Structure 1
Amino acid sequence: MAERRPYTYKEELANTLSHGFGVILGLVAGYFLLSKALMTHDAWKISSVIIYLFGALASYVTSTLYHGLTDKSRKALLRKFDHVAIFLHIAGTYTPITLVALRQEAMWGWSLFLFIW
């Protein structure tokens, strides 16, 4: 991987604050999304929302921690977790689409779900 320039203090502060705000928004939106899914009593919708929220919150929490830390050894480890969490966020975002919106398209939905995960 190519060498990258380190973030400046202001960049790290902006990243920490914006991703921390994402955690708060994710929790608020997650409450409403999960409440709405629970009202349907549809296991596909409920599980899809849970998977989505796990990925989104994992991404924002790890990114907030990564950008907020200054200890180089911990920061290097958290950068790896941050990259994994970004994958979880992306795959989690596709989950409701593949398991709910494309559920009637059995082969399409499941094929896309398995390919992404």
Structure 2
Amino acid sequence: MSEAIQYIAVTTTTDSEESARRLASAAIEQRLAACAQIDGPITSVYQWQRKIRTDTEWRLHYKTTRARYPELEAYLKAEHPYDVPEIIATEITTGSADYLAWVRRETRS
């Protein structure tokens, strides 16, 4: 595996800015991710329990390592306000060597 693919970006959404800040801060404090960015508000349209819903949400983008992903996913499942939170990981296939080294340093347990 190339060094770059050791890094991932993880995305989730939540129902409020307060919830997004809480999920971001605690993940960083626990070194589950090096960075968490919050976008919002955004509008999400989706089907849930056989109904089409349109809700305002806030999106979080975490930068982390593949090694820390299982702990980040477990944290999000335990602390997220949704029954079935969006948790999507995307490989970072290339990037600044300095930035990726920083991600690696910041996510050491």
Structure (1 or 2) with the greater helix fraction = 1
TM-score by length of 2: 0.27
Question: Which protein has greater RCO, CA pairs closer than 8 Å, 6+ apart?
Answer: 2
Q: With the length of structure 1 as denominator, give the TM-score of the two structures.
A: 0.26
Bigger Rg, structure 1 or 2:
1
